[in-house]
Amino acid sequence: AASELSAAGIIKQADLWQRARIGAHHNRPAVVRSAILLAAPDSLPFVNDAIGNPAAFLAHRDTATNPARRALVPLALTRLASSDFGQAAQQLRGQWAGQMDRADQDWVWGSIGRWAAIRRSDDAISHFRQVRDERNLHGEHLEWKVRTALRHGDWVQVGRSIQAMPPAMQQN
């Protein structure tokens, strides 16, 4: 059913990629695979490596040059952030920043900031400050961004992040 909806244009590519990002965010490889199957079937053979061993996937010599592998870089960086947010930040600042669009970079910075905040790192605020457009973040990213800004007394960031939240989330 989803493949017919995707083929008919009812489910957009952006929605499929968002589903894949959320699946990576929650470490749900099956969700990632189902979204990638429709959004970028050529990338499907590489999903398990990108999600299961993101550091090795990112270090693989073909990841930067093979479009099917390169499409999964934001997902791999999202997973890497969960185990080593410092390494994910270093990789994003390094070779991957120029190869990802701004929305993907914002998503990954949100993931890095979230994991840094969960671990109470003072670096969390600087990672969140790399985000240019809060609309590219997931609700959980925004919640952790607000917590981090509160912890650092950054009231401008608190207000900006709350404004970016859906109305129901703003009430919490």
- Helix ranges restricted to H, 71-134: 73-83, 85-91, 102-118, 124-128
User: Residue 144 pLDDT more than 60?
Assistant: yes
pLDDT band for 5, please (50, 70, 90 cuts).
low
Type of residue numbered 150: L
User: Residue 2 pLDDT more than 90?
Assistant: no
The answer to whether 92 touches 78, Cβ cutoff 8 Å, is no
Q: Distance between CA 33 and CA 39 in Å, rounded?
A: 10
Type of residue numbered 93: R
Q: Distance between CA 172 and CA 170 in Å, rounded?
A: 5
What is this structure's pTM? 0.89
Type of residue numbered 13: Q
Predicted local confidence at residue 90, as pLDDT: 97
Can you state the angle between helices 13-25 and 29-39, rounded to 10 degrees? 160
Residue 61 corresponds to which tokens in the numbers above?
Answer: 């010599």
Predicted local confidence at residue 127, as pLDDT: 97
Query: Which region holds residue 64: left if phi is over 0, alpha if psi is between -120 and 50, else beta?
Result: alpha
Predicted local confidence at residue 8, as pLDDT: 58
